[in-house]
Amino acid sequence: MMMDALESIQTGSIYRASFLAGVRLQLWFTGETHTLVNDFSTYLQAILQRHGGRDGKLDTLTGFKAQTELLRAWGDTLDEWVKLFGKVMETAASLPFGGLAMMHGRFSEAESQRVGESASQRVSEAARKKSVFEGQVRILVDGAAELLGEDGLNLSGRIWRMDREARDGIGEVLLRGIGEGDSAWNIGKQLEHFLGGNEDCPRWTSSRLYKLKKSDIAGGDLTGLLSGSDCDERGVAYKALRLARTEIQKLHALATDQVLLNSPWVEGEKVNLSAAHPEADICDDVTSGGPSGNGEYPAGTIVLPLHPVCLCYKTAVMMGEGAFAGQLRDWLNGGSWPEMDRYSELLGGDLNRDLSGDAALIVLGMWLFGEDLSV
């Protein structure tokens, strides 16, 4: 069962597991993006063929009609992509909180004393509940959408710019083809190349998502996800995914930072280099920096991603379980521990709250071990 598979993940690998789930999420979204672009490419050929004359060519009038219909269809495709992207962003923000729910179960004395029922049994009723972290996830998603990048644009501004570039490009390809006397079919092929959809990409991403064994996932093995030939990196599809990957990584990193800062058992953060890191850059400096030269810093020091499409990720530098248990007992007996005060408030004042069926934990489990992936 999925929840029992989560219990097989070692405590020290939970933060890495959240990162791995995020990689699977991005792979899935890559396939879905190319599917949408491929569907639009098929539809645009039908539009062009319908407006082509007996000689299979477009003139100024039929070209204008075709362009109007193409841009309307493109708008529908983009709307569908934006809605899906929004759901992916919420999922990306939820994953680190799923890891927090797992850590809560490992460090909570109340959870460690549970006997007589498996994780899969406990989750059957609790899975219908909302996440206790839903408010934090919503704040992060909304806040990330308004962050301004080096280009001075927020997320909606970047999507608008991508839309304008796509519309302008469709118009340019169409008008150039008409001017050069190309057939409607050839113009369609040129538009397909401009859009950059890859018919093989959805199948490639699917093979990547399901090739790992559950034991490999539980051990944090990223090899099967980060190796191999990528989908074609060209056209509108690539630009959309480059935008999306950067935003997803940024949001996942923000959520991870919140989890680390709100976890009383965390003493610091360690920045880890991706297994797919191609060449030396700022990532190497950060992952070999810090007071001890091993990529460890006080929690909240490093802001990820370090550059567009950066795959560095954070794990926690944690207290020993014995030290945590002793400090927790002291806190329960009235001792001062501000970090635990904040964590208790995050849980609504109930430190013994059962998070074994929290919705964020279910999301994490699905993206790590699920076979029917969706957002």
Residue 299 lies in a domain: no
Which of 201, 144, 193, 138 shows the shortest CA–CA distance to 360? 138
What is the value of pTM for the model shown? 0.88
Q: Is the pLDDT reported for residue 307 higher than 90?
A: no
Buried b (16+ CB within 10 A) or exposed e, 297-316: bebeebebbbeeebbbbbbb
pLDDT in tens, 1-28: 677 788 888 888 898 889 989 989 999 9
Residue 218 lies in a domain: yes
pLDDT score of 110: 39
The domain total for the chain is 1
Q: Is the pLDDT reported for residue 335 higher than 50?
A: yes
Return the top range by mean pLDDT from 53-67, 152-166, 214-228. Answer: 152-166
* Averaged pLDDT for residues 216-224: 67
Residue 276 lies in a domain: no
- Tell the residue number behind the tokens 């810090």, with chain if given: 290
Residue 187 lies in a domain: yes
- Tell the residue number behind the tokens 């003139």, with chain if given: 59
For the beta carbon of residue 286, count every other beta carbon within 10 angstroms: 20
Residue 101, domain extent: 2-265+319-369
Residue 279 lies in a domain: no
pLDDT in tens, 38-51: 999 999 999 999 99
pLDDT bin (cut points 50, 70, 90) of residue 179 is: very high
Residue 19 lies in a domain: yes
pLDDT in tens, 64-104: 999 999 999 999 999 999 999 999 999 999 999 999 999 88
Looking at per-residue pLDDT, the higher value among 176 and 55 belongs to: 176
Contact between 163 and 240 under an 8 Å Cβ cutoff? The reply is no
Strand partners, 57: 183
What is the strand order of the sheet 313-318 is part of? 296-297, 266-272, 313-318
Residue 273 lies in a domain: no
The helix (run of H) or strand (run of E) holding residue 44 is: helix 14-51
Q: Is the pLDDT reported for residue 320 higher than 80?
A: yes
Looking at per-residue pLDDT, the higher value among 321 and 302 belongs to: 302
pLDDT bin (cut points 50, 70, 90) of residue 122 is: very low
Buried b (16+ CB within 10 A) or exposed e, 190-203: ebbebbbbbeebbe
